[in-house]
């Protein structure tokens, strides 16, 4: 890659960092959708790193800040209307038993819900983080996805490879306790002792934990627009700026 393109990429991602709080919280969850990786920081040091699955290129995971406030055990999946209409209902029309076989039920208001359990698209854990995009972190039964280099496979939410370890660290309890709560089989919520800030970012250039400079492809095609705004055109002479003087 030509040096000038790398310099441009670095400039774009420095601009992205400028959008964030000048002083980041010392304890935080950091999800970089460009590298499909999640890190938990304690005292500004990464203590846990795991792979994630993020949104497809046409269903991109947005960039935003929120707080993880609770963990939901055995979450049911309330299927978003768009997914239900575009993806589920055509399958139901061709196979009347589709909903029953996938542990789904049609509600009175026309919405579709998948029951909690090992077959649920949300897996056994959901990390609740209020935001206007209705995006959250969650478990998944599709474990093979984490072995792929391309992990842009979701509808926008973030699937976590090691959710029980993350839940253990956030809740301050053992993974055995996490498993015991899951094995109860009921849907129940446990609040975090203290809400943890979470940052969903898109960094195609970043410093890794070994202080090395890393680059990732701009698969969401977001870099160019920022780069265009960073270009400063030549200033016009004063006479041209004020033609009436």
Query: Which positions are catalytic?
Result: 138, 157
The span from the CA of 185 to the CA of 205, in Å, is: 42
CB 90 within 8 A of CB 78: no
14 φ/ψ angles, rounded to the nearest 5 degrees: -65, -40
Segment (H or E) for 128: strand 125-128
**Main-chain phi, psi angles of 106, to 5 degrees:** -95, 125
Question: Among 108, 118, 56, 123, which residue's Cα sits nearest to residue 83?
Answer: 56
Q: In which residue are the tokens 């999800």 written?
A: 31
């Amino acid at each position: 890659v030509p040096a000038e393109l790398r310099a441009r990429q670095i400039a774009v991602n420095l601009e992205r960092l400028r959008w964030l709080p000048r002083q980041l919280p010392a304890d935080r969850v950091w999800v970089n959708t460009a590298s499909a990786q999640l890190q938990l920081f304690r005292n500004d040091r990464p203590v846990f790193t795991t792979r994630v699955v993020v949104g497809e290129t046409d269903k991109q995971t947005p960039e935003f800040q929120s707080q993880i406030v609770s963990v939901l055990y055995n979450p049911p999946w309330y299927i978003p209307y768009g997914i239900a209409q575009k993806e589920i209902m055509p399958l139901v029309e061709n196979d009347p038993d589709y909903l029953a076989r996938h542990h789904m039920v049609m509600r009175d208001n026309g919405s579709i819900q998948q029951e909690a359990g090992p077959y649920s698209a949300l897996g056994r854990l959901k990390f609740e983080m209020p935001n206007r995009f209705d995006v959250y972190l969650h478990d998944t039964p599709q474990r093979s996805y984490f072995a792929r280099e391309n992990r842009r496979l979701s509808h926008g939410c973030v699937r976590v490879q090691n959710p029980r370890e993350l839940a253990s660290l956030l809740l301050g309890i053992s993974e055995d306790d996490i498993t015991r709560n899951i094995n109860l089989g009921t849907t129940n919520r446990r609040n975090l002792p203290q809400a943890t800030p979470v940052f969903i970012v898109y960094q195609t250039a970043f410093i890794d934990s070994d202080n090395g400079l890393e680059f990732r492809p701009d698969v969401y095609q977001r870099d160019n627009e920022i780069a265009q705004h960073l270009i400063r055109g030549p200033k016009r002479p004063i006479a041209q700026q004020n033609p009436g003087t």
